[in-house]
Structure 1
Amino acid sequence: MKFLVIEQDLRVWGTSQGIISRSFLAKLRKAYPQSIIDVVYLKQSESEDCLDLLPVNSIKTYVLDLKIPFYTKLFNKFYWRFFHVSLIRNNIHKVFGSYITKIDYQQYDHIFIRSAGLDCETILGAKDLSILKKSIITFNEPYPTFWCTGSISPLTNLELFKVKEMFEVVNQAKSCMATEILSEDLQYLYGSRKKFYNLPHQYDESVFDLSKMENVYKKNKKIMISYQGAIQFGRNVEILLDAYQELLENNLLYIENTEFVLRLKGIDKKKLVVKYSKCSNIKILDFASFSDSCNEQMHQADINIILENGPLYCNVLVGKAPFLAATQKPILSISPERSEMQRIITDPKYIANCNDKEEIKQKLEILIVDRLNSDAAVFPFGDYFSEENFKKLLDAVLFDSSGHS
């Protein structure tokens, strides 16, 4: 078989999307080792991406010039208010489309167009192009932004017209794909008569160089609890840290044997540093490189934390979940009632309601006690991120959607 994958983000750090997309290519190669895999990489800026680590037959890289002409910016100030369409967005989509339209797509059996971030430029850039009828489009976030969990974006006419635009793209595409709950939500949002398929994110160590370690935090206690990520979209780290502080107040054993190390980015980081500055067991550090972050969570941390978007629901699969599954260490997912983690975590001790401090405290204490007594490998996600499950779900996308048995 011959695969074409159109990618927007293959960076090795700074974004979970690059990690997800690189790992998808690695898993695709393992699922179909004799296949031809060609990649068209439409990147928005120069970056060092270690593309030689990707197990593909060819990769064509283009750095797009997305500078908006002055007259487009000028007219857009008035245009979008009257017609609810952004000339700036249209300009960006045309740039992406100008590269996609040059692809000789007829030679491929299967084509993936994969989105990145919240704006889905690769997908929207293919709108009305003939390649789209043969393409499987992949959503990694809700679109438009109003439907992103925790978003404070208002529901404007511009956002509603985005729904209409994506509805047309969905109808033109061969099939659509997302993670489990997101696929359900988007199928409903766009009123799609075609099935949205489910394929979870993946992690594959082979497409990363984890040998460069410059700033790995070495744990100082027997048990290190670790959270690394952004504070956004309703992720509530304070309720977790407050629960941990209460555990420390009631048990000297936890003070002497545990520490909570966080690497955060987000506008609330400074506030958190001040709030927890008097607790020596809580350490809030600067964000680390991908290699440092991976090595900390694999070799230093004993319990890794996942913060899902909230507070009511989370319909995206956090990018770090497959990586943390690969560490075979305990995780505690702080999650709303409806979320991906609620579906795929097989043991309830690894998940707590993001609005219930007592439950968070109880579950965290269970994991601390377990880890004080044993460092055995654990599998909170069962075989959900296994290569066998990936191939089974991928086969459903490839063959069900093409009408083959």
Structure 2
Amino acid sequence: MKFLVIAQDLRVSGTSAGIVMRSLLAKLCKAYPEAVIDVSYIIHRDTDDDLDILPVDNLTKHIVSRKRPFYVTFINWFYWRLFHVSLNERYIYKQYAKFIASIDYEIYDHILITSSGTEHETILATYNLPILKHATLIFHDPYPLAWYVGANKTPSNLDLFRLKRVMEVVEQSKLCATTAKYMSHDLQHLFASKKKFHTLPHQFDASVFDLSDTSQVRKKSSKISISYHGALMYGRNLENLLLAYESLINENSVYNEQTEFVIRAKGEGVDDLKERFKEVANIQILETLNFSNSSNEQIYESDIVVILENGPYYCNILVGKAAFLAANNKPVLCVSPEKSELRTIITDNKFIADMNDIADLKVKLQTLIDDRLISNAPVYPFGDYFSDNVFKKTLKNILS
């Protein structure tokens, strides 16, 4: 059996897409150890991605220039206003398409085309290419961006034409999948697809990462260390959780003396949080780390790890951090909207709190702290959802 995987992001730091995509390759190799697995890696700038660690048979790296000729940019200024089609985007898609069209796709039994980021170049570049009829498209995020829950963006005429193009690509494809159940449901209807959208959740596999760099790991200074590592975007709400924690340590000297909250975040509102909680000694808002240091800090120094889902009312994506934390068997607190992907996965309610309800956040956080003060036993908030066996069964069902 031969697999071809077209990937857009295999970076090891600064991106959740690269982390879960590398892990997908590792899980694919474990699920089909006798198969030949080739990877076509198409990116727009050269980066050092430790590609030699990946356990695949062949990997080719293609660098696509996103620099557009002046005449394209000039004509586009008028063209998209008249026809609501971006020549700038189409030009970039053609650069990706050149590499994809050169692949001898007929030698493969299965072709997986994965997206990354919000532009979905690798998927949209396959429009009208023969390979598309034999390919399974895996959407990492909703597209266009206006339909990304929490993006707070009003659809434009350009978005509507983008939507039309992706509908055509979906129609031409063999199969489609996303990484979350809610997203599969939403995109199947958004794209007016007559074929079922399957769900292949994010994965994490430590074997495809070099985690030897521990030079910036912060040693915890309290018995219980709560941490959040990640981005603040798309309606993710950390402030309410910090307010709940502040209330806990002000009311109970045990929590004040034996706990700390360490945040390594980037994105919207970080400076505001620093200003708001600068007088709270137990709350440390620090700089972000590379993946190796961040992983080691969460694995060895954190006792309770926080996940922020998109919000404020609905989250239809599966955050990549969930698969990573599932591998570490630690208690997590998912700060979630009323309807979210993680609420369909985590069965024990103590690991999920309403992002819009400070009282609920306080109760759930207190419960996890109390549990951790008396026991360091492994916990399994996600059950076997991210296990190798479930992955193989899910992928087999999709491919068959």
Shift of 1:151: 0.8
TM normalised by structure 1 equals 0.98
SS at match of 1:39: strand
Task: Tell me what 1:121 maps to.
Answer: 121
Q: How does 1:16-95 map to 2 (within 5 A)?
A: 16-95=16-95
Question: What are the ranges of 5 or more consecutive residues in structure 1 without an aligned counterpart?
Answer: 400-405
TM normalised by structure 2 equals 0.99
Task: Tell me what 1:301 maps to.
Answer: 302
Task: Tell me what 1:236 maps to.
Answer: 237
Task: Tell me what 2:165 maps to.
Answer: 165
Task: Tell me what 1:281 maps to.
Answer: 282
State the distance in 2 between where 1:155 and 1:348 align. Answer: 35
State the distance in 1 between where 2:240 and 2:75 align. Answer: 46
Asked if 1:381 corresponds to 2:382, the answer is yes
Task: Tell me what 2:256 maps to.
Answer: 255
Asked if 1:311 corresponds to 2:312, the answer is yes
Task: Tell me what 1:331 maps to.
Answer: 332
Task: Tell me what 1:354 maps to.
Answer: 355
State the distance in 2 between where 1:211 and 1:257 align. Answer: 29
CA shift digits 1:148-205 (9 cap, x unpaired): 1111222111111111100000000000011211111100111111010111100000
Task: Tell me what 2:132 maps to.
Answer: 132
Shift of 1:267: 3.4
Task: Tell me what 1:402 maps to.
Answer: none
SS at match of 1:327: coil
Aligned residue identity for 1:142:
P
Asked if 1:107 corresponds to 2:107, the answer is yes
State the distance in 2 between where 1:33 and 1:105 align. Answer: 21
Asked if 1:203 corresponds to 2:204, the answer is yes
SS at match of 2:391: helix
Task: Tell me what 1:154 maps to.
Answer: 154
State the distance in 2 between where 1:127 and 1:217 align. Answer: 48
State the distance in 1 between where 2:261 and 2:73 align. Answer: 47
Shift of 1:71: 1.4
CA shift digits 1:354-382 (9 cap, x unpaired): 11111010000000000000000000000
CA shift digits 1:216-256 (9 cap, x unpaired): 01100000000011110000010010010000111000000
Task: Tell me what 2:397 maps to.
Answer: 396
Shift of 1:72: 1.1
Identity %: 52
State the distance in 2 between where 1:267 and 1:252 align. Answer: 32
State the distance in 1 between where 2:275 and 2:354 align. Answer: 26
Shift of 1:66: 1.3
State the distance in 2 between where 1:346 and 1:381 align. Answer: 8
Aligned residue identity for 2:75:
F
Aligned residue identity for 2:190:
L
SS at match of 1:375: coil
State the distance in 1 between where 2:51 and 2:38 align. Answer: 12
CA shift digits 1:53-74 (9 cap, x unpaired): 1010000001111101111111
Aligned residue identity for 1:196:
F
State the distance in 2 between where 1:34 and 1:348 align. Answer: 41
Question: What are the ranges of 5 or more consecutive residues in structure 2 without an aligned counterpart?
Answer: none
Q: CA RMSD in A?
A: 0.6
State the distance in 2 between where 1:373 and 1:109 align. Answer: 52
CA shift digits 1:75-107 (9 cap, x unpaired): 111111110100111011000001000000000
State the distance in 1 between where 2:102 and 2:392 align. Answer: 30
Question: Bigger CA drift: 65-74 or 322-331?
Answer: 65-74
Aligned residue identity for 2:250:
E
SS at match of 1:321: helix
Shift of 1:116: 0.4
State the distance in 2 between where 1:383 and 1:390 align. Answer: 10
Aligned residue identity for 1:55:
P
State the distance in 1 between where 2:100 and 2:116 align. Answer: 16
State the distance in 2 between where 1:119 and 1:126 align. Answer: 13
Task: Tell me what 1:371 maps to.
Answer: 372
Shift of 1:338: 1.4
Task: Tell me what 1:2 maps to.
Answer: 2
State the distance in 2 between where 1:69 and 1:269 align. Answer: 38
Question: Bigger CA drift: 261-270 or 283-292?
Answer: 261-270
